[in-house]
Every structure is written in C-alpha cells, then in structure tokens.
Amino acid sequence: MVEVLRLNLSRVVDESYNILIGFGLFDSIPADLKANPVGEKYAIITDSVLKDIYGRRLLEKFSEENIDACLIDFPAGEESKNISTVTYLVRRLLEHRVDRKSAIITLGGGVVGDVGGFTASIYMRGIPYIQVPTTLLAQVDSSIGGKTAVDMEEGKNLIGSFHQPKRVYIDPSLLKTLPRREYLSGLAEVVKYGVIRDRDLFEYLERNVEKIKNLDEEALLHIIRKSCMIKKEIVEEDPLEENKRSILNYGHTPAHAIERLSCYKCLHGEAVSVGMRISGWIAVKKGFWRIDEWERQNKLLRSLGLPLKMDFNVDDLIEALYYDKKVEGGTLMFVLPKRIGEMFSINGRYKIPIREDEVRSFLLELNGNN
Ligand SMILES: NC(=O)c1ccc[n+]([C@@H]2O[C@H](COP(=O)([O-])OP(=O)(O)OC[C@H]3O[C@@H](n4cnc5c(N)ncnc54)[C@H](O)[C@@H]3O)[C@@H](O)[C@H]2O)c1
C-alpha cells in the first residue's frame, strides 16, 4: 500500500521590473530607492577598479539620503568570475549583517553583474538585487534578463541561475571613464542585435560609425535604448531560454571557445565579433545566409574597430566548442542568421545542429581564406 501526498506548487510569479535609462541618472539612484525601495539596506558589490571611481560616490549618496548601505569589492576582471569570489562575497555580506530584507546592488560590468547576481540568487536562499551597469556591454546586454553565472576552468558560465533583478539603472555618462578597448568590445553586442532582430538598427550603426566611436550622446542613447528594447522583448518571449532566447547567443558558441583558448585574455565582445564571423560563415556555407550580408556584417564590425580573426588551432577550437551549454546530445548547436534582422529556424527551433565534420571543414576553409 503506497500513500501519495501531493505537494501542489503551481504558481504564477510576476518578475517584471523597470529599466531606467538616462544621462546623469547615477547620482539620483539612492533618492529613487528611497521613493521606491527594494530593500531596507543595500550592499553595493563592485570591483577593485570601480570602487574608487564610482563605488564611494554611490555610498556617499546613500548616506546623504540616510539609507543604510555598505560597499564590498573584489579584484576586477574575468579571473574573478568564479565560485571562490562568491564565497568571499557571502562572507563579506555576513560581516556587514546583510539579511533577507536587504538588497544587493551590482555596480560594474558584466563580471560584477554576473557574480553579484549569482551571489544574490543563493545568499540566504536568494535576496533581491539591482543592476547598475557601467560598461557598454553590461548596459546593452548583461544587466537585463536575469542570467547570472560564474566560470569553471572547463568553460564559461557553467554554474549559474536565472535571478531577475528588481530594477536596472543605466547611466550612459558612466561610459566616459570606460577604457576605449572595453567600449569598442561592447559594440559587438549591439551589432549582434542588429543582425538577429533589427535591420534598422544595423543600418543606423552603418550610417553612424564615427558618432558611435566618439560616444556622441544622442547616438549612444539611441543604440542603448534600442538594444535594451530588443533584449527585453526577447526575454519576455522566452525567459528561460527554451528556444527564441538562444538567438541572443549568436556568435557566442565560438566566442566562448575562443575566450577559453585565449585564457580570457581577449575581451568578451572581441570574441563575440570573431564568433559572429565564424557562425555567419557556417550559415553561409549551409546555404542559410547570403555571403554579401555576411561580408556586410564583417565590414561593420571592422569599421567599429572590432577584430574579425584570432589565431587558433581548428581542432582545439572544436574541442572547446563542446563545453557550450547549447550542446545537445553530444551535437554542436549554433544559432545562425537568415538575413540581417532575422535568424534562421527549422520547424520553429532556432538552435541548429551542425555536424562536427562540417564545422571542421568550414573552419579550415575560413582559416585558409585568412
Ligand atoms: N548575464 C548575461 O546575460 C551576460 C551577457 C553578456 C556577457 N556577460 C558576461 O559579461 C562579462 C563581461 O563583462 P564586461 O565586458 O562588462 O567586463 P568587466 O565586467 O570585466 O569590465 C571590464 C573592465 O572595465 C572596468 N570598468 C567597468 N566599467 C567601467 C567604467 N565605467 N569606467 C572605468 N572602468 C570600468 C572594470 O573594472 C573591468 O576592469 C563576461 O563574463 C560575460 O560572460 C553576461
């Protein structure tokens, strides 16, 4: 005789949140949080570089508003995006008496957002967090959508969670202090949005290369707003990446492998640029995408100062590709363009299986074309 007790847990959750975008928004974050609180106390998590540039300034603004806040930092860079940093942060949060009624503020680029967001998702079984992105990459991509993660030696983002932020504050004026190479790297994700979803954005980028490279305020606001809109819409359609959201990973399968092979010396956006050339080439060779559009994509990337090629051994790259989370049943999967502004799908599925021998021969041909 077996007794069955059913634990009913079907529930509807509302994880909606506001993304605020504006020049000069940064200094008014504490005042806004006073008017629209997310927690009773705030732990600002940032990196060693940003602590002095913006961390102390934000802490000061919290103090002016009489809001309880603390500042915690860890060494800047992708090397810190690991589980040891998470343990370190948990200890600091405990020291600062951060509790379940508190909220974390991740102040930084994608590394701070990913590590801080992941920490928020597991600290005391999960507390709220707010994203304050400071790199272009984080402002147009990583701060939105609730993907959090840390890397393993074996590959990127292999430990993580979906944990949506409660709010995102995007102040493009923070980009003025961002090193140029980091800024240009972030533009790769903007080009990605154009290719995967928005031909108008792609053409806007083509027409405004110089303005964008010179951080013209109007152009910057336009590309950030458009990118956030696209990311938001895709996440709304498929929050847990069951299908459509995977198009945001265009170029990322090779990019993650390249980052790993370079021991994370190349920047994420630089690897994405090279990765889009590779994925785009696979799409061309499979007959899904016209070669002139692939060349147009590469021309735009090059004009924005992004790399298109990196030295790697094809077999090493293929081995590294297998650590991608899109690998299904041992098969390499890619998201591939159909035309600028639209991705290719088979029976409504966007992850396209490509045989390893095909990938190898396409890559060898591409390397030969160098
Ligand atoms: N969660 C997601 O959806 C998602 C999406 C894309 C990328 N990512 C992740 O994002 C990470 C890359 O993020 P990133 O490119 O922002 O790099 P990053 O966070 O390492 O920042 C780059 C460097 O710039 C410095 N910096 C940041 N903002 C600055 C500013 N305003 N002024 C001066 N210096 C500044 C940082 O201290 C750091 O040294 C990768 O780990 C990638 O996997 C996550």
Ligand 1 centroid distance, CA of 46 (Å): 11
Confidence of residue 367 (pLDDT cuts 50, 70, 90): confident
Q: Which of 78, 182, 189, 293 is catalytic?
A: 189
Q: pLDDT by residue (tens digit) across 161-173?
A: 999 999 999 999 9
Ligand 1 centroid distance, CA of 132 (Å): 12
- Looking at residue 200, what is its pLDDT? 98
- Phi then psi for residue 43, to 5 deg, are -110, 110
Confidence of residue 368 (pLDDT cuts 50, 70, 90): confident
Report how far apart, in Å, the C-alpha atoms of 312 and of each of 261, 274, 318, 341, 351 are.
Answer: 8, 11, 10, 29, 25
- Looking at residue 263, what is its pLDDT? 85
- Looking at residue 112, what is its pLDDT? 98
For residues 7-23, one letter each, b for 16 or more C-beta atoms within 10 angstroms of the residue's C-beta and e for the rest, the string is eeeeeeeeeebebeeee
Q: pLDDT by residue (tens digit) across 204-250?
A: 999 999 999 999 999 999 999 999 999 999 999 998 889 999 999 99
Query: Average pLDDT, stretch 125-151?
Result: 97
Ligand 1 centroid distance, CA of 282 (Å): 28
Q: pLDDT by residue (tens digit) across 117-130?
A: 999 999 999 999 99
Confidence of residue 329 (pLDDT cuts 50, 70, 90): confident
- Looking at residue 297, what is its pLDDT? 98
Domains of the chain, start order: 18-177 (3.40.50.1970), 180-368 (1.20.1090.10)
Q: pLDDT by residue (tens digit) across 305-320?
A: 999 999 889 999 999 9
Confidence of residue 264 (pLDDT cuts 50, 70, 90): confident
Lining ligand 1 with CB less than 6 A are 47, 49-50, 53, 76-78, 81, 108-112, 114, 134-135, 137-138, 141-142, 145, 147, 156-157, 174-175, 177-178, 182, 268
Atom of ligand 1 nearest to the CA of 136: 16
In the predicted model, what is the mean pLDDT of the chain?
A: 95
- Looking at residue 156, what is its pLDDT? 82
Atom of ligand 1 nearest to the CA of 78: 20
Contacts of 6 (CB under 8 A, 6+ apart): none
Residue 166: Cβ within 10 Å count: 20
Q: pLDDT by residue (tens digit) across 41-67?
A: 999 999 999 999 999 999 999 999 999
* For the chain, percent of residues with pLDDT exceeding 90: 89
249 is catalytic: yes
Confidence of residue 369 (pLDDT cuts 50, 70, 90): low
- Looking at residue 192, what is its pLDDT? 98
Report how far apart, in Å, the C-alpha atoms of 149 and of each of 156, 158, 337 are.
Answer: 8, 7, 26
